[in-house]
Structure 1
Amino acid sequence: MMLLCTSNVLFGQCSGTLGDPIIKKDFGSGTSTFGPALTNGETNYGFIAGSPDDGQYAIVKSTAGLNSGWIQNIVNHTPNDPNGYMMLVNANDVPGIFYQSAVNGLCPNTTYEFSAWIINVLRNPGIKPKVKFSIENNGVNIVPPLVTPDIIEGNASNWIKYSLTFTTPANLGNITLKMTNENPGGRGNDLALDDITFSACGPSLTPSIGGSNATFTSICEGTDATFEFKTEVSPGVYQDARYQWQINTGSGFSDLDRETSTTLNVRFQNAARGVYQYRLLAADGANISAANCRIAGSPLTVQVTPRPIANIETLAPICAGNAIQLRASGGTTYKWTGPNGFTSTAQNPIIPNATTAMTGNYTVNVSANSCDAAATINVRVLPAVLPAVNVQSATICEGNAIQLVASGGTAYLWQPALGLSDPQAPNPIASPTETTTYRVRISNSACTETVEVNIKVNKKAFADAGEDLKIISGHSVSLNGKVSGEDFTYYWTPADYLDDPTKLNPVASPPTDITYTLHAISNLGCTNGVDEVFVKVYPKIVIPNTFSPNGDAVNDTWNIPAASAFASPLVRISNRNGQLVYESKGPFKPWDGKFKGKDLPPAPYYYTIYFNQDFKMFSGWVMLMR
């Protein structure tokens, strides 16, 4: 063992090589701000998922947002673990155990290293942390404990590694590792711990490939190669040094049978892709078979690099005059060859203005990581399409059709398809309802040209005479005519009782029922439109307010002349007490002033009259006189 002090290391350091960690306490990782408490017996400090007070600890990702007296941006020490946790301790006034762990499966008379990374978290001067590392065998210290000096304040990167190296006794019992607080708490003595490890310690192992200082090499997939791996072992440490080579192909290291010297020869035949790691284990005597009692050299790595896959995009036939776009992938360098002496070192070369003479095979050689591969593609350059159509533009009436004819290719596609009999035919029938520009794509399987044909649609004249109308004799009404289309004239027939038959909304004053017809005439030769409107003329309604049924043949009945114009008027008459004395349903019958065949006395009587849905209910009184 030797004691060293540098800017970030203070330890009784293992001067040789360490074995795989028997204990590796990095406090885990996660997405939450705070991690879980330690298991029972690992510490006698109290756990809190927050900012710890004296005698408490927290498992945290960072000091940010905790005690304002601490450096706020300290994160865990574990390399390449941004979500890792560390143990943050606010030391107690009396010595306490920060961390302890029992270790089993050790070998007697074997050297081990106990280490941890520690940082003072105080922003300003205060009581400085001091930590004691102890190794106990059945509760008795094996070696004098290592007590760190006062750990001074620094910055967020001032993690320091402290180590204690020791040799287990021959009477090996229960080994316990302890880290305890040596300074009082209160104003300071706050620290963080991370990456506590315990490993076997032995001689220095210096691995190499082929006698050089290299520890990494690579070969191409499918090749044959032989390598000599060698590990130099510093002498004078083990009395009966023994060795074992191991291999790791991705699922962890495992022993290589009968490979127990410091040199290993490995032959690859038709090498399969992957990463192959080899390392030498060393131990004293039979300890070579005990995982907790041996050391492990740094791995020697052979990477079998997959040969690049020379990918070439499948090219459709190229139309003469267009560019040939070659595309390849899978490597870092590219070399192309092709017809007419074509060469290129571009990954995706472009050959402009293609001609049919450029038809042929194009080959690319792809290289990556000193490995290469080749691929070939056949490129066809076809003659260009010469498109033609029977009309560039035409005019039709709405509802009519026109045949469109395209030529120059072997396949056709008209768009939009709306109004076409067959959008994939070279000669579809077009019946658009609106002015439309058709585009026909003419192709010969590779070359494509597009031509436009404009079909103007003249709208037919359309007439809408409006809803049927109703008026009372002597009144007038405006006709609600509407006409649509393109370039049209219009008029009404008959012109009788209209103020102007050439207006869309003439005023009609017919004395009797009449039907008017609106004519819409297309000036473009398209279909004309006609529509009718019926005007119902009701007679003027006059309701008498007196009659005298005395048999003198003058005004003997209560008669409403206009009622005869309605199919089923409803007339009801009641006396002043509300008693119904007369009712007429269906064709109107004049009232003779009787009720149940007997004359009613002179008096006012009250009526309600419903003619039809076109009139509101009439109500009033009539005087019966004798």
Structure 2
Amino acid sequence: MQFKLRLLVFLIVAFSCKAYAQVCTGSLGDPVFIFDFGSGNTPKFPTTDYKYVTAVCPQDGEYGVAKSVIGCYGNTWNSIMKDHTGNDGYMMVVNADNIANKEFFSKATTADGTNVGVLCENTTYEFSAYILNVVRPDLIDYIKPKITFVITTLTGDIIKQSPPIEIPETTDPAGWQKYGVFFTTRAGVNAVIVKMINNAPGGKGNDFVMDDIAFRPCIPDVVPIGFSTDASGAPKNQCADVDGSYTIKAVPPSGYDFVWQQNINGAGWVDISEPTPALTRKFPAGSAAGVYQYRLGVAKAGNLSTQNCRVYSNAVSININAVPSPAALQPQTVCQGDVLTLSASGGTTYEWTGPNLPPTSQNPVVIPNIDMANAGLYHVKVISAAGCSTILPVTVNVNARPVVTASTAMSAVCKGSSTQLTATSVTANSYKWEPSTGLSDPDIANPVATPLVNTHYTVTVTNAQGCKGTAGVDIVVKPLPEADAGSDKVIFEGQSVRLNGAAGGSVGNYSWSPASSLDDPYSLTPLASPTDDVTYTLTVNSANNCDLATSQVFVRVYKKIVVSNSFSPNNDGINDLWNIEALITYPESELSVYDRNGQQVFFSRGYSKPWDGRRNGADLPTGTYYYVIDLKNGTSKLKGWVLVIR
């Protein structure tokens, strides 16, 4: 596969990097021109004989202007992610023409649109560019670019020409290198033409990217400057609230005129009137914050007034750093025992001091359980990243908490009983008891408490400064006895029934009354054998002196029904009526008598008048009759027979 990709050369200012060929290794001036192929959304295009294409990977004899080069020719090219300066800029991508020694960049150093020269006579200039071979170094037999930098007069006479410079492969896709040539103008020469020629053919390799083409004055020697106290030229830093004075010294080269320049906050370099090689600058307290840069410009005698003839020293900086101006801290008032938090802003670091506070860089400062000894004046030093500082005061007031005690008339009460709570505090403005359940009024000093369960009551008192104090008291609730005599009972006279009593809660002892007809009145389940209706009362006494509990059970005792099985209604005064013993005690009872055929011959409710053996006033014949007695008390009906004898 043919390996192709060529980067076209564009102009850009470049201070000396690692030097190749004949680049100037001394001091450089501001560019006469710089070509950087544009940035953002505005590319710039060079003057060249190569064909421009929009493709990322141009063919032989073509060039493109791109911000990155990725994935060309089966990845035989390195991936170039950004241009030389990395400023979202463009670079020229060149795929060499098959014809060797082809000129691919040309520019005259004349004023734009005219043929007027902008150079000075007898002045040295550098013509350079940053170039990067895009072919990967592991590929074999690929052609390397060979670039010649040529400087001619406007009529084409060669003034200076570099030897062909071979651009090596590199494993570093960001390994841009500076290449170029420098020369000295002759008398009468104030404009030249600069060119670049690719001496190698294309076809297999000879692909490169180019950026930041520049033409600028230079001198072979370095023109260093430095502070009188520090020749290294390292920046000086001063806070705006202090005085400072700085002397910058330079040694201009022999045969050169010089002028000092300053650049404030990047606004641009301007000449300043200081005719000596030692420049003194004073910055009294209150000077405007900013970056103040200084450099020395030199030019051959008589050429200093022309900017394109000057060469400049390194620049030194004096940084006047602003003093932090944080917001004032407001006084703080806290209650004794609270957490105090002090916080400042507007700096990168902080130093706090205060009463009983060891110096600390913590911010915010958190002081738990603050005491009266912590009241007073605190200070914080707010320090910027440049080390400039401002000290702020803040007053902390600590109010005492109210002292409160809590008590109760009784620490233990029977369930349902009450006791009075009392809070005592000399400085209290208000009271608040919690929980409020069972309290007559939770917002007074001495509420009446009627708790249903064991309760811890807490009273919070607040003084006039809003500080709070608390105290607590425990109330034990003693359980009451519980009594349950069970459900009512029904028996017939002569029967017995077991009472089903139960006791709960606080139980000391228990008993039944009346005790008569009970086998054990001190048992919860005594056997009762009453002869008449009776109400029994179960009394349970508390084990903790909390009153007693009672419960009653009613036992209904029905009289025993005695039914004779014969009577003789013959008016002899003996056994003339059918007397049923105790039936009259059941006033709601019903008695029915039937003959052999099931015909009812007698009915009575309450049995207030015994049966005389008649039916509707007529005697019934001797015989057996059948009866049914319903006592109407929920008991089973009584059934049987009776013999009527005449």
TM interval, short-chain normalised = 0.5 to 0.7
Matched residues in 1 for 2:360 and 2:153: separation? 70
The residue type equivalent to 1:292 in the other structure is N
1:36 aligns to 2:51 (yes or no) = no
Instruction: Give the drift of 1:60.
Output: 1.7
The residue type equivalent to 1:38 in the other structure is F
1:169 aligns to 2:186 (yes or no) = yes
Equivalent residue, structure 2, for 1:46: 52
Matched residues in 2 for 1:44 and 1:136: separation? 21
Aligned Cα RMSD in Å? 3.4
Q: Is the Cα contact below 8 Å between 2:324 and 2:390 reproduced in 1?
A: yes
| Cα shift readout 1:338-361 (whole Å, capped 9, x = no counterpart) | 23x433222333222112443221
Q: Is the Cα contact below 8 Å between 1:59 and 1:86 reproduced in 2?
A: yes
Equivalent residue, structure 2, for 1:107: 120
Equivalent residue, structure 1, for 2:102: 96
1:375 aligns to 2:392 (yes or no) = yes
The residue type equivalent to 1:245 in the other structure is W
Equivalent residue, structure 2, for 1:24: 34
Q: Is the Cα contact below 8 Å between 1:26 and 1:78 reproduced in 2?
A: no
Q: Which aligned pairs between 1:208-219 and structure 2 lie closer than 5 A?
A: 208-210=226-228, 212-215=230-233, 216-219=235-238
Q: Which aligned pairs between 1:419-458 and structure 2 lie closer than 5 A?
A: 447=467
Instruction: Give the drift of 1:128.
Output: 1.4
SS at match of 1:10: coil
Equivalent residue, structure 2, for 1:343: 358
User: CA distance change for structure 1 residues 333 and 189 in 2, over 3 Å: closer, same or farther?
Assistant: closer
Matched residues in 2 for 1:342 and 1:48: separation? 69
Instruction: Give the drift of 1:91.
Output: 0.8
Q: Which aligned pairs between 1:546-561 and structure 2 lie closer than 5 A?
A: none
Determine which of 212, 215, 226 is the counterpart of 1:195: 212
Instruction: Give the drift of 1:277.
Output: 0.6
Equivalent residue, structure 1, for 2:279: 264
Instruction: Give the drift of 1:321.
Output: 1.2
SS at match of 2:224: strand
1:252 aligns to 2:258 (yes or no) = no
Q: Is the Cα contact below 8 Å between 1:71 and 1:121 reproduced in 2?
A: yes
Q: Structure 2, unaligned stretches of length 5 or more?
A: 1-15, 111-117, 403-427, 446-459, 472-646
User: CA distance change for structure 1 residues 161 and 352 in 2, over 3 Å: closer, same or farther?
Assistant: same
SS at match of 1:143: strand
The residue type equivalent to 1:115 in the other structure is S
SS at match of 1:292: helix
The residue type equivalent to 1:197 in the other structure is A
Q: Is the Cα contact below 8 Å between 1:45 and 1:98 reproduced in 2?
A: no
Equivalent residue, structure 2, for 1:11: 21
Q: Structure 1, unaligned stretches of length 5 or more?
A: 1-5, 396-401, 409-439, 452-626
SS at match of 1:50: coil
Instruction: Give the drift of 1:111.
Output: 0.8
Instruction: Give the drift of 1:253.
Output: 3.6
Q: Is the Cα contact below 8 Å between 1:134 and 1:141 reproduced in 2?
A: no
Equivalent residue, structure 2, for 1:221: 240
Matched residues in 2 for 1:290 and 1:172: separation? 15
Instruction: Give the drift of 1:292.
Output: 0.9
Q: So what's the TM-score if we normalise by structure 2?
A: 0.56
Matched residues in 2 for 1:384 and 1:298: separation? 67
Instruction: Give the drift of 1:131.
Output: 1.1
Instruction: Give the drift of 1:295.
Output: 0.6
Equivalent residue, structure 2, for 1:233: 252
Q: So what's the TM-score if we normalise by structure 1?
A: 0.57
| Cα shift readout 1:503-522 (whole Å, capped 9, x = no counterpart) | xxxxxxxxxxxxxxxxxxxx
Instruction: Give the drift of 1:288.
Output: 0.9
Instruction: Give the drift of 1:313.
Output: 4.6
The residue type equivalent to 2:252 in the other structure is V
Determine which of 283, 287, 293 is the counterpart of 1:277: 293
User: CA distance change for structure 1 residues 363 and 24 in 2, over 3 Å: closer, same or farther?
Assistant: same
Instruction: Give the drift of 1:218.
Output: 1.5
Count of matched residue positions in the alignment of Structure 1 and Structure 2: 399
Q: Which aligned pairs between 1:126-525 and structure 2 lie closer than 5 A?
A: 126-155=142-171, 156-172=173-189, 174-202=191-219, 203-210=221-228, 212-215=230-233, 216-235=235-254, 238=255, 241-270=256-285, 271-309=287-325, 313-314=329-330, 316-331=332-347, 334-339=350-355, 341-348=356-363, 349-368=365-384, 369-384=386-401, 388-389=431-432, 392-393=435-436, 406=443, 447=467
SS at match of 1:13: coil
Matched residues in 2 for 1:127 and 1:154: separation? 14
